[in-house]
Homo-oligomer: A and B are copies of this chain.
């Protein structure tokens, strides 16, 4: 087994050459990676079958579905890589340019970050997505996946590295950490000088461990306790449609709504409409509503406890609270949100403006479902994750968010 340190040293060395590759070289590499992935479909499926067999009985059906690969899914992963090749190159963009009074030119230019380490869980497609996005942005990736998907990830990375070698690019551009114990995650968090950015993609425990322990720069992603506030001036039918979409269309994702805040003046009208739609027994999945005392006085449901307003359910569960006005909604969100996505439903422009100005989240919606917080939907063309912090990148991270910049100053002998 190669140690994590060895893999990181190879990654750092590869990053020096990768940062100066041309767009054409990077796109040729991406195409070769996609082709190699498809060519190795049998190997990848064989490895995946071992992972699936080993996981049988120990993970949930949803996780098992995420873990399981098919030839079509591998083709989809390859297609994803080809789509990244078609995106604009984020490296080398001139962000600004000024001529100093003494005559030298000061250019601010987008450059790669360097070595980007990604800690993720069991979805094998993250392996190829992350490799494609980091390569296109001139970065080297070091992947540290979950134990239960290790054989699949190793087969995918072997195929990607073979593709890189075919076009004469260092295979160390895509590294896979071989140690899947917690020790390697901790090592990545403290690999100063070797890891330029760590992106933890996973549950609250992983994010918390990174905040506590990391000495390398981190971008926190993915935890979404998203709120929908139904104002007294809301179109109530629209509000029901948006909550249906935000809560029920895909509850396992981070941009799904978890909490509904309802203005007291329309609660008696709105809550029965909401219950009729979300809890309709004729639906395939019916929602459980967890109600504060004021909501429980209007409709039936489970009594909410305080923890329900701080929980990312990722399930067909919605916590409901009645608030006095938009200010109380804003204060509740400030106290309980993970700063991912929040929505207001209102026909009142002044109330909407107050909400969007005061709510300090990555995405703030007016009369739109929170489910749109996504790199593809926001026009970024792709997504490495959704940042819930304020430094560097906020919301969906695309290729530009995987770059930094430097100033390049050219002159003919200027001194200060």
Q: Give Cα distance in the complex from A408 to B217, angstroms.
A: 27
A416 within 8 A of B: yes
What are the nearest 9 A-B pairs in CB distance? A245-B415, A368-B411, A371-B416, A392-B392, A238-B413, A390-B404, A391-B392, A366-B410, A363-B407
A222 within 8 A of B: no
**Which residue, of A16, A405, A415, has the highest number of chain B Cβ atoms within 10 A?**
A415
Please indicate the chain B residues that have their CB under 8 angstroms from the CB of A111 in the complex. Answer: 360
In the complex the two chains form, is A378's CB within 8 Å of B211's CB? no
Please indicate the chain B residues that have their CB under 8 angstroms from the CB of A410 in the complex. Answer: 352, 356, 365-368
In the complex the two chains form, is A378's CB within 8 Å of B407's CB? yes
In the complex the two chains form, is B212's CB within 8 Å of A407's CB? no
A–B pairs, 6, beta carbons within 8 Å = A113-B390, A211-B215, A362-B407, A367-B410, A391-B404, A395-B406
Please indicate the chain B residues that have their CB under 8 angstroms from the CB of A184 in the complex. Answer: none
In the complex the two chains form, is B390's CB within 8 Å of A217's CB? yes
Q: Nearest Cβ in chain B — how far from A415, in angstroms?
A: 3
In the complex the two chains form, is A372's CB within 8 Å of B413's CB? no
Contact flags (1/0) for A9-53 with B, using CB distance below 8 Å? Answer: 000000010011000000000000000000000000000000000
A377 within 8 A of B: yes
If A215-B212, A377-B100 touch, does A395 touch B407 (CB 8 Å cutoff)?
Answer: yes
Q: Which of B245, B352, B362, B389 contacts A406 (CB 8 A)?
A: B362
B-contacting residues, A54-88, CB 8 Å: none
In the complex the two chains form, is A98's CB within 8 Å of B379's CB? yes
Q: Nearest Cβ in chain B — how far from A79, in angstroms?
A: 20
Q: Nearest Cβ in chain B — how far from A101, in angstroms?
A: 9
If A242-B415, A409-B372 touch, does A358 touch B16 (CB 8 Å cutoff)?
Answer: yes
Beyond contacts A19-B360, A106-B378: 13 other A-B pairs, Cβ-Cβ < 8 A, are A197-B390, A211-B215, A217-B391, A249-B416, A352-B410, A356-B410, A362-B406, A363-B409, A364-B407, A367-B414, A368-B415, A378-B407, A394-B405
Please indicate the chain B residues that have their CB under 8 angstroms from the CB of A413 in the complex. Answer: 235, 238, 241-242, 367-368
A310 within 8 A of B: no
B-contacting residues, A204-251, CB 8 Å: 211-212, 215, 217, 219, 235, 238, 241-242, 244-246, 249
A104 within 8 A of B: yes
Q: Give Cα distance in the complex from A362 to B106, angstroms.
A: 12
If A100-B372, A242-B415, A390-B113 touch, does A379 touch B212 (CB 8 Å cutoff)?
Answer: no
A145 within 8 A of B: no
In the complex the two chains form, is A217's CB within 8 Å of B367's CB? no
What number of A residues sit within 8 Å (CB to CB) of B? 66
Q: Give Cα distance in the complex from A212 to B219, angstroms.
A: 17
Please indicate the chain B residues that have their CB under 8 angstroms from the CB of A98 in the complex. Answer: 378-379
A357 within 8 A of B: yes
In the complex the two chains form, is B367's CB within 8 Å of A411's CB? yes
With both beta carbons as reference points, the residue of chain B lying nearest to A99 in the complex is identified as B379
Contact flags (1/0) for A331-358 with B, using CB distance below 8 Å? Answer: 0001000000000000000001000111
**Which residue, of A98, A241, A367, has the highest number of chain B Cβ atoms within 10 A?**
A367
Q: Give Cα distance in the complex from A178 to B357, angstroms.
A: 32
Contact flags (1/0) for A369-410 with B, using CB distance below 8 Å? Answer: 101110001110000000001111011000000001111111
**Which residue, of A219, A368, A405, has the highest number of chain B Cβ atoms within 10 A?**
A368
Please indicate the chain B residues that have their CB under 8 angstroms from the CB of A392 in the complex. Answer: 391-392
In the complex the two chains form, is A409's CB within 8 Å of B365's CB? yes
Q: Give Cα distance in the complex from A246 to B358, angstroms.
A: 46
Q: Nearest Cβ in chain B — how far from A63, in angstroms?
A: 24
A361 within 8 A of B: yes
A196 within 8 A of B: yes
In the complex the two chains form, is B391's CB within 8 Å of A391's CB? yes
Please indicate the chain B residues that have their CB under 8 angstroms from the CB of A211 in the complex. Answer: 192, 215
